[in-house]
């Protein structure tokens, strides 16, 4: 079968290549999926550039890609949740990535039935952004009546998070460009701050939760507008100080994590607010919950552009430019 392989770290054009590799076989508890569509996430180009090589030590070359939707073709011993012919969607775990391919074998516990009302492209756009938001909001204890600021509400994660926050009953403020302001309002945002016209730091604070999808200075600045006792959830900031323990990291990584987080933890202590950073975990049961949200109309997928399978390098470059409204999808079949 054809699959994209990461061969080294650096530029996409030099380190991502299409190759023929053996078709996967379903081991115990696994299913093999014929992939119809896969979606791209920022973690994909960060992985190619080597931003995660200290944390996730992959043996190269190896397949890449996290999100997929397709059809089950075979099941391994002990797998009982699915049968050949079932339409499913999934988010591969960190140690089993490889959805930029024609097939993948995954543990059935990571897989869920594809929402019946969605195409494969639409379904593939949801797993990582949906799981990230459900797990992040869960860690923050998000509940109805709270005020949340969601950065980049028109992006892949942001467009899901705005909808999910409204479903939970939160009051939602989101930042985006003026070009996308009406679009983010249509997703349910109560207030939109156009960053090219307004300084969001000057528009008031007191948020119970700040959902930081941008990292860098935005992570530290989040503590200027979160209320005392509130929570900053960061997807792009430095790892939290519990990360090294969770990952059983060595001494050098523990020191690096401590150094990377100094500014954030100083700001957190001054603000009296918590800092939450985490790796998204693959979870088939939560994907079933997301499918239910789609079926009831609480969540709709948002796709900016679809690329042909042979155009993955171009798709990664487009996503990295940071102008996509919603998700970027790879049409495999």
Q: State yes or no: pLDDT of 53 exceeds 80.
A: no
Q: Which one is predicted more confidently, 260 or 66?
A: 66
User: What pLDDT, on the 0 to 100 scale, is given for residue 282?
Assistant: 97
User: What pLDDT, on the 0 to 100 scale, is given for residue 326?
Assistant: 97
Cα distance between residue 27 and residue 42, in whole Å = 30
For residue 258, give Cα distances in angstroms to 50, 220, 265, 280: 20, 15, 9, 21
Query: Cα-atom radius of gyration of the chain, to the nearest Å?
Result: 20
Give 100-147 as a DSSP string.
SBSEEEEEGGGEEEPPTTS-HHHHHTSHHHHHHHHHHHHHHT--TT-E
Which band of pLDDT confidence, cut at 50, 70 and 90, is reported for residue 327?
very high
Q: H or E stretch including 74?
A: strand 67-75
* Complete domains list, the chain, with CATH: 2-126+301-331 (3.90.180.10), 128-277 (3.40.50.720)
Q: State yes or no: pLDDT of 237 exceeds 90.
A: no
Residue among 46, 36, 38 nearest 16 (CA): 46
User: What pLDDT, on the 0 to 100 scale, is given for residue 240?
Assistant: 73
Which band of pLDDT confidence, cut at 50, 70 and 90, is reported for residue 241?
low
pLDDT digits (tens, 9 = 90+) for 250-305: 666 666 665 666 789 899 899 999 999 888 999 999 999 999 999 999 999 999 99
Q: State yes or no: pLDDT of 209 exceeds 70.
A: yes
∠ CA(226), CA(232), CA(234), 5° rounding? 145
- In the predicted model, what is the mean pLDDT of residues 219-241? 92
**Would the pTM count as exceeding 0.85?**
yes
Count Cα atoms within 13 angstroms, Cβ side, for 141. Answer: 6
């Amino acid at each position: 079968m054809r699959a994209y392989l990461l061969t080294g770290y650096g530029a996409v054009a030099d380190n991502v290549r299409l190759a023929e590799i053996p078709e996967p076989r379903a081991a115990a508890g696994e299913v093999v999926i014929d992939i119809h569509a896969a979606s791209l996430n920022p973690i994909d180009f960060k992985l190619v550039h080597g931003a995660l090589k200290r944390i996730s030590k992959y043996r190269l070359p190896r397949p890449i890609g996290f999100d997929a939707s397709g059809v089950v073709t075979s099941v391994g011993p002990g797998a009982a949740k699915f049968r050949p012919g079932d339409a499913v969607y999934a988010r591969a775990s960190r140690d089993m990535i490889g959805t930029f391919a024609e097939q993948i074998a995954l543990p059935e516990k990571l897989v869920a039935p594809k929402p019946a009302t969605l195409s494969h492209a639409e379904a593939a756009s949801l797993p990582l952004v949906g799981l990230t938001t459900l797990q992040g909001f869960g860690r923050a204890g998000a509940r109805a009546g709270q005020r949340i600021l969601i950065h980049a509400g028109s992006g892949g994660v942001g467009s899901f998070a705005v909808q999910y926050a409204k479903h939970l009953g939160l009051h939602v403020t989101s930042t985006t460009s003026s070009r996308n302001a009406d679009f983010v309002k249509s997703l349910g945002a109560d207030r939109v701050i156009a960053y090219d016209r307004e300084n969001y730091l000057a528009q008031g604070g007191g948020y119970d939760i700040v959902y930081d999808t941008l990292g860098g200075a935005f992570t530290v600045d989040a503590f200027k507008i979160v209320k005392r006792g509130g929570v900053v959830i960061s997807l792009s900031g430095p790892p939290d100080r519990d990360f090294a323990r969770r990952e059983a990291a060595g001494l050098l990584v523990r020191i690096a994590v401590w150094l990377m987080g100094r500014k954030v933890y100083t700001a957190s202590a001054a603000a009296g607010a918590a800092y939450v950073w985490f790796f998204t975990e693959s979870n088939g049961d939560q994907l079933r919950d997301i499918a239910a949200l789609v079926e009831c109309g609480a969540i709709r997928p948002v796709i900016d552009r679809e690329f042909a399978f042979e155009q993955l390098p171009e798709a990664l470059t487009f996503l990295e430019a940071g102008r996509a409204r919603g998700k970027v999808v790879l049409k495999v079949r």
